[in-house]
Amino acid sequence: MERVWIYQSDRQLTTTEEERILEVLDDFTGQWKAHGKRLSAWAEVRYGYFVIITVDEAVATPTGCSIDKSVHLLKDLEGELKITLFDRMQIAYKKEGGEVIVVSRTVFEQLLAEGVISTETIVFNNLVQNRDELASNWEIPLKNSWHSKVFR
């Protein structure tokens, strides 16, 4: 099973910032260990907003301490790049045409009330936990996501 963690930026990353994130995370994942066992891990950036870290748990399972190290590294990148990756009050959705938009919860609620966002609007379920869920349950219509329970 390949476990994933998704970190959403509060703004679109520049190409240079994406390259920096991947450089740092490639170095990190190349030597990342849990209880002395090397983790088979890699990172990617999607849509200029989402940093995704994947670990193949069939090789070795990450521990709390090893996960903490990855979080600490991402917090360092936040400071360096002046971005926010841990604000769960930011909601990402796709406009018609596929453009990704990130807005505050308040703005999301307003757009929903105005009909700019509908139950068919694609939202990002950053709570997915593995590669299968990433493929099937990450980009889904609002009506099929946890968002529909929060935003009525």
| 90 and 109 Cβ atoms separated by less than 8 Å | no
Percent of the chain clearing pLDDT 90 (strictly above): 94
The first and second tokens of residue 106, run together, are 């308040």
What pLDDT does residue 89 have?
92
Residue type, 105: R
| 45 and 83 Cβ atoms separated by less than 8 Å | no
Backbone angles phi, psi at 4, to 5 degrees: -130, 150
Q: Where are the domains of the chain?
A: 2-81, 90-150
Sorting pLDDT into bands at 50, 70 and 90, what band is 152? Answer: low
**pTM tops 0.85:** yes
CATH topology of domain 2-81: Alpha-Beta Plaits (3.30.70)
